[in-house]
């Protein structure tokens, strides 16, 4: 997954504006002397962020006032280009703060986030609800037909106009007043949700008193659990931290049913314990305020308001896409459940399958049916091999780019690695950070973000980071990845590739500044190369024997490729429908009882699949409450339709070749938000996207 920069409208770079507040010694208020304008993480302290963000807002307010109050008539240059150049100090400060607070947080940083969140919401409103500024943008928009502008500049005009309207510029002053209040309340609630979720997830870790409770995990993971408990001040215990999803990786391996049940329940109830980390009232209020916000704009619910920004356009288009998948998914999940129950019944103890048994017995079914198990595969996926010989190799073969590790760029945590990326002709293209390992003070999940976008106007190059939550190997042990983690690494890097190849003039149209349901296309597309034969052969070596992955194991993995996809698609669809249900509430609906609402929403949409719980429960569904995916989680499935279809195009045209990669780079990856997406896809493929390859890829076309 990915978090889009929240202030995508404003480019990030070095600022030379005079600092309005804050100490002149604050490194965020000084121009960067580092390559790529990189941030001086080695010189930043926790007390630097709030004053820098506040100084950044003040500086941008001045820039915006100068544009809005300009006595000269509005022109493309004095209004839109000037806006594109504004806010650079703020972007520098929020970029640095964003990575620290999400990957390396502490109580002070979390407090700062709660303080600045409503201030930032008010700041954005001060720009987009500025009537003089909007009048200038609207004048240029209305004269667009007579202006001599290149296509990207024309697209910038249309984008700004739509952005202003979506932000409320056309509403009456009274409605705008209410909108400002709603936006600030929502920002405060969001920051509270994030704080509670982080604390609830950390507190939900499983503590085992005896290693025997963790039987099946393997020595390396048990060693890591012992270390994790020690780090928490428990010298005798074993700690398994929670990942952000409902299902937990360890549930695949844990032999003790009681331990599985406990771990699953810790996950399921992490933010529903009636304590200070309980998020139920927070999200119920957010849903209600979002419905009211949509009503101000004249939409029947938040989904209808939000989807005008996406490729799908309407809730009806989303539902038609989702509903077409639910039937085949239910059927496949039921076949999988029957296989699992048979596997359970073949054992000594007899019980009915529960969600916490699913993955453990699914592995046994996989072993029995396909003779594949994770413990056999993981030794071939050592992190550094995956990175340098897999991920970088595939990018080199497709796009011609190369990588060189840099040790002179400051990082926010000692494990973070930095690489310079070079283009096919050897010119420097981008700077790339990787923050791989799970930490207790890191937000769950995986994401990509940018400190800087490519912009010809500003002369900036992409500075990008990927964050993962991979459990680090015990001291002296390598970090071995599951197949899912390997795909995750390829996924986030797909977003990075999208940023590297941007060739836009304007920062706010550059790289990953794309709708949710298109932005996951390049990332999910990149996942396909993880198991592509020539790539796999290049990186999958046993970390102890250095033997390549045997062909027999590769063949078995291929035969098992659609195994458990009923479950996997089912948990995603359930989360999709939960998201849509929360954002289909009308403003008149009362504050919801969260658990009752969730149960009813799953049933009504047909995603109450037996023993397949949603990938995220409402109370820890960070995507929709805190990461900009409200009424947008379906974007993963939608983009999967695009990426499976595009991958099919590659297979039909010779597979992994430089020529195919270049075509994809030129026609999709480099295009940013510079044209509409339907035509962009059609130009690449020669037809509209089709759900067939997705159904095929997931094994949803029929028999088991």
Catalytic positions are: 492
Instruction: Give least dist CB 591 to Zn ion, A.
Output: 32
Task: Compute CA 590 distance to the chain's CA centroid, rounded to the nearest angstrom.
Answer: 31
637's CB contacts (< 8 A; 6+ apart) are 321, 322, 325, 572, 573, 576, 694
Q: Measured from the CB atom, is 523 or 564 closer to Zn ion? A: 523
Instruction: For residue 464, state whether it binds Zn ion (rule: CB under 5 A).
Output: no
Which residue shows structure tokens 């039921």?
334
Would strands 463-470 and 428-437 be described as parallel, antiparallel, or unpaired? parallel
> What is the distance between the alpha carbons of residues 12 and 53, in angstroms, rounded to a whole number?
13
Q: Work out the number of other CB atoms within 10 angstroms of the CB of residue 182.
A: 18
Q: Work out the number of other CB atoms within 10 angstroms of the CB of residue 25.
A: 9
Task: Compute CA 479 distance to the chain's CA centroid, rounded to the nearest angstrom.
Answer: 23
Q: Which of residues 510-569 bind Zn ion (CB under 5 A)?
A: 520, 523
Q: Which of residues 123-162 bind Zn ion (CB under 5 A)?
A: none
DSSP-assigned states of every residue in 370-400: H---HHHHGGG-BHHHIIIIIIHHHHHHHH-
Q: Measured from the CB atom, is 86 or 498 closer to Zn ion? A: 498
Among 2, 85, 155, 528, binds Zn ion (CB under 5 A): 2
Instruction: Give least dist CB 493 to Zn ion, A.
Output: 10
Instruction: Give least dist CB 468 to Zn ion, A.
Output: 12
Q: For residue 529, which of 562, 572, 564, 486 has the smallest C-alpha distance?
A: 486
Would strands 238-240 and 206-208 be described as parallel, antiparallel, or unpaired? antiparallel
Q: Which of residues 598-617 bind Zn ion (CB under 5 A)?
A: none
Instruction: Give least dist CB 523 to Zn ion, A.
Output: 4
How many residues touch Zn ion under the rule CB under 5 A: the total is 4
- Contact predicate 208/225, CB 8 Å: yes
Instruction: Give least dist CB 169 to Zn ion, A.
Output: 30
Instruction: For residue 1, state whether it binds Zn ion (rule: CB under 5 A).
Output: yes
Q: Measured from the CB atom, is 2 or 260 closer to Zn ion? A: 2
- Contact predicate 620/200, CB 8 Å: yes
> What is the distance between the alpha carbons of residues 643 and 640, in angstroms, rounded to a whole number?
5
> What is the distance between the alpha carbons of residues 621 and 601, in angstroms, rounded to a whole number?
15
Q: Measured from the CB atom, is 153 or 568 closer to Zn ion? A: 568
Would strands 417-422 and 428-437 be described as parallel, antiparallel, or unpaired? antiparallel
Q: Measured from the CB atom, is 1 or 225 closer to Zn ion? A: 1
Instruction: Give least dist CB 528 to Zn ion, A.
Output: 14
Instruction: For residue 450, state whether it binds Zn ion (rule: CB under 5 A).
Output: no
Q: Measured from the CB atom, is 164 or 636 closer to Zn ion? A: 636
DSSP letter at 480? B
Q: Measured from the CB atom, is 538 or 623 closer to Zn ion? A: 623
Query: Which pairs with CB-CB distance under 8 Å and at least 24 residues apart come from 346-349?
Result: 349/257
Q: Measured from the CB atom, is 520 or 644 closer to Zn ion? A: 520
Rg (CA), the chain: 25
Instruction: For residue 5, state whether it binds Zn ion (rule: CB under 5 A).
Output: no
Q: For residue 556, which of 693, 421, 373, 390 has the smallest C-alpha distance?
A: 373
Torsion 300-306-309-315 (CA) sign: negative
Instruction: For residue 293, state whether it binds Zn ion (rule: CB under 5 A).
Output: no
Q: Is 637 left (phi over 0), alpha (psi -120 to 50) or beta?
A: alpha
Q: Measured from the CB atom, is 520 or 645 closer to Zn ion? A: 520
> What is the distance between the alpha carbons of residues 572 and 578, in angstroms, rounded to a whole number?
10
Q: Measured from the CB atom, is 9 or 497 closer to Zn ion? A: 497
Instruction: Give least dist CB 542 to Zn ion, A.
Output: 30
Instruction: Give least dist CB 524 to Zn ion, A.
Output: 7
663's CB contacts (< 8 A; 6+ apart) are 684
Q: Which of residues 7-26 bind Zn ion (CB under 5 A)?
A: none
Q: Measured from the CB atom, is 403 or 490 closer to Zn ion? A: 490
Instruction: For residue 397, state whether it binds Zn ion (rule: CB under 5 A).
Output: no
Q: Measured from the CB atom, is 120 or 395 closer to Zn ion? A: 395
> What is the distance between the alpha carbons of residues 295 and 288, in angstroms, rounded to a whole number?
11
Six-digit token pair at 366? 């996989």
Instruction: Give least dist CB 689 to Zn ion, A.
Output: 18
CA-based angle 206:362:523, to the nearest 5?
Answer: 80
- Contact predicate 345/444, CB 8 Å: no
Instruction: Give least dist CB 703 to Zn ion, A.
Output: 31
Q: Is 672 left (phi over 0), alpha (psi -120 to 50) or beta?
A: left
Instruction: Give least dist CB 463 to Zn ion, A.
Output: 19
Task: Compute CA 133 distance to the chain's CA centroid, rounded to the nearest angstrom.
Answer: 32
Instruction: Give least dist CB 491 to Zn ion, A.
Output: 6
DSSP-assigned states of every residue in 266-315: HHHTTT-SSSTT--HHHHHHHHHHHHHHHHHTT-SSHHHHHHTTSSS-SH
Give contact residues for Zn ion (rule: CB under 5 A): 1-2, 520, 523
């Amino acid at each position: 997954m990915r978090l889009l920069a929240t202030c995508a409208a404003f480019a990030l770079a070095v600022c030379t504006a005079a600092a309005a507040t804050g100490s002149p010694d604050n490194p965020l208020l000084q121009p960067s002397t580092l390559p790529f304008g990189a941030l001086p993480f080695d010189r930043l302290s926790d007390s630097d962020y709030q004053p820098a963000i506040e100084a950044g807002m003040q500086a941008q307010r001045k820039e915006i006032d100068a544009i809005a109050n300009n006595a000269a008539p509005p022109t493309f240059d004095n209004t839109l280009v000037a806006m594109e150049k504004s806010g650079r100090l703020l972007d520098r400060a929020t970029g640095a703060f964003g990575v620290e607070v999400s990957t390396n947080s502490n109580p002070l940083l979390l407090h700062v986030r709660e303080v600045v969140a409503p201030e930032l919401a008010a700041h954005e409103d001060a720009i987009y609800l500025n009537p003089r500024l909007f009048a200038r943008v609207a004048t240029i928009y209305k004269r667009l037909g007579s202006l001599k502008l290149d296509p990207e500049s024309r697209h910038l005009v249309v984008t700004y106009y739509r952005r202003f309207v979506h932000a409320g510029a056309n509403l009456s002053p009274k409605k705008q007043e209410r909108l400002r209040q709603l936006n600030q309340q929502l920002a405060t609630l969001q920051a509270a949700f994030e704080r509670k979720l982080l604390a609830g997830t950390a507190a939900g870790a499983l503590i085992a008193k005896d290693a025997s409770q963790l039987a099946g995990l393997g020595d390396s993971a048990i060693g890591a659990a012992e270390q994790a408990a020690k780090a928490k001040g428990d010298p005798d215990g074993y700690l398994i931290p929670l990942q952000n999803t409902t299902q937990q990786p360890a549930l695949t391996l844990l032999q003790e049913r009681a331990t599985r049940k406990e771990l699953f329940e810790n996950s399921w109830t992490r933010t529903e314990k009636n304590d200070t980390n309980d998020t139920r009232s927070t999200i119920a209020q957010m849903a209600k305020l979002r419905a009211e916000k949509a009503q101000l704009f004249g939409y029947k619910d938040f989904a209808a308001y939000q989807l005008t920004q996406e490729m799908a356009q309407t809730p009806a288009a989303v539902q038609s896409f989702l509903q077409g998948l639910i039937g085949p998914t239910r059927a496949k999940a039921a076949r999988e459940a029957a296989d699992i129950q048979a596997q359970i019944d073949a054992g000594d103890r007899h019980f009915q399958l529960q969600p916490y048994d699913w993955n453990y017995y699914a592995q046994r079914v996989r072993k029995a049916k396909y003779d594949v198990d994770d413990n056999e595969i993981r030794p071939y996926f050592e992190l550094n091999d995956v990175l340098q010989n897999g991920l970088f190799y595939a990018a080199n073969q497709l796009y011609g780019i190369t990588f060189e590790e840099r040790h002179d760029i400051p990082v926010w945590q000692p494990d973070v690695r930095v690489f310079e990326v070079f283009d096919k002709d050897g010119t420097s293209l981008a700077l790339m950070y990787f923050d791989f390992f799970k930490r207790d003070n890191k937000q769950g999940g995986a994401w990509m973000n940018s400190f800087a976008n490519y912009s010809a106007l500003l002369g900036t190059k992409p500075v990008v980071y990927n964050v993962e939550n991979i459990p680090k190997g015990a001291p002296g042990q390598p970090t071995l990845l599951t197949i899912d983690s390997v795909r995750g690494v390829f996924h986030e890097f797909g977003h990075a590739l999208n940023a590297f190849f941007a060739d836009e003039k304007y920062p706010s149209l550059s790289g990953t500044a794309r709708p949710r349901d298109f932005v996951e296309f390049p990332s999910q597309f990149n996942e396909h190369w993880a198991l592509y034969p020539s790539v796999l052969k290049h990186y999958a070596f046993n970390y102890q024997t250095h033997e390549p992955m045997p062909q027999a194991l590769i063949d078995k993995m291929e035969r098992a490729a659609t195994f458990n996809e009923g479950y996997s698609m089912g948990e995603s669809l359930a989360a999709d429908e939960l998201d849509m249900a929360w954002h289909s509430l009308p403003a008149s609906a009362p504050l919801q009882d969260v658990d009752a609402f969730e149960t009813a929403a799953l049933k009504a949409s047909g995603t109450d699949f037996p023993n397949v719980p949603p990938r995220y429960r409402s109370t820890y569904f960070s995507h929709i409450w805190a990461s900009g995916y409200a009424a947008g989680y379906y974007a993963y499935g939608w983009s999967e339709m695009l990426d499976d279809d595009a991958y099919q195009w590659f297979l039909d045209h010779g597979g992994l070749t430089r020529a195919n990669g270049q075509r994809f780079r030129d026609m999709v990856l480099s295009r940013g938000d510079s044209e509409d997406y339907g035509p962009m896809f059609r130009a690449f493929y020669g037809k509209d996207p089709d759900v067939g390859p997705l159904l095929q890829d997931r094994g949803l076309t029929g028999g088991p």
